[in-house]
Amino acid sequence: MNYGERLRILREKHELTQAEVAEYLKTTQSYYAQYENNRRPIPFERVVELARMYNVSIDYIAGFTDDISRKPK
């Protein structure tokens, strides 16, 4: 599963629209949609913001693990 699919699944799980996530990221819905559709590489800073927003690890978004839980430090 690629990062775009993970982002879509997380967004839907949290019952958010692309426009709502885009607003959080201070971008447009169409620009954010390109992340979910793998038409635009997602900058690392955006991955960090989304990991914080969804309370998941960066590794989960990147597809390095299927463990959605964020481990406490």
CB 9 within 8 A of CB 36: no
What's the whole-model pTM score?
0.88
* More confident of the two residues 68 and 45: 45
- Give tens-digit pLDDT for 4-43: 999 999 999 999 999 999 999 999 999 999 999 999 999 9
- What is the C-alpha to C-alpha distance for residues 37 and 51, in angstroms, rounded to an integer? 18
CB 4 within 8 A of CB 37: yes
CB 26 within 8 A of CB 20: no
Please tell me the predicted confidence (pLDDT) of residue 67: 87
3-state secondary structure 25-56: HCCCHHHHHHHHCCCCCCCHHHHHHHHHHHCC
